[in-house]
Amino acid sequence: MANTTSTTVEPRIGRSVTIDRAAELLGCSRRTVYNWIRNGRLYTVRTLGRSQRVLIESLPRAAAAAARAGSRDASSV
């Protein structure tokens, strides 16, 4: 009997993402992501291989803070 069910592979986002993916999701540069990590806007974890990954739960907060900062910058022009 042949398997007739098609499986689609959808990208999954786990608990954390790479610095590059976080920058892509937030629409900013890698440097900005690193600055936000240093300033406490983004939370990270270290993998066993010692790479740094951004926790998904911190992305909405950072995006909201960036939007507020952007609206302040635009209103001061």
In the chain, where are the structural domains located? 16-66
* Closest among 27, 31, 28, 23 to 54, alpha carbons compared: 23
- Which whole-number Å values give the CA distances from 10 to 7, 22, 24, 36, in the listed order? 9, 18, 18, 29
Walk along the chain (77 residues) and give the pLDDT tens digit of each residue. Answer: 555 555 555 555 579 999 999 999 999 999 999 999 999 999 999 989 989 999 999 999 888 888 887 765 444 44
Fold adopted by 16-66: Multidrug-efflux Transporter Regulator; Chain: A; Domain 2 (1.10.1660)
What residue has token string 């950072």?
A: 62
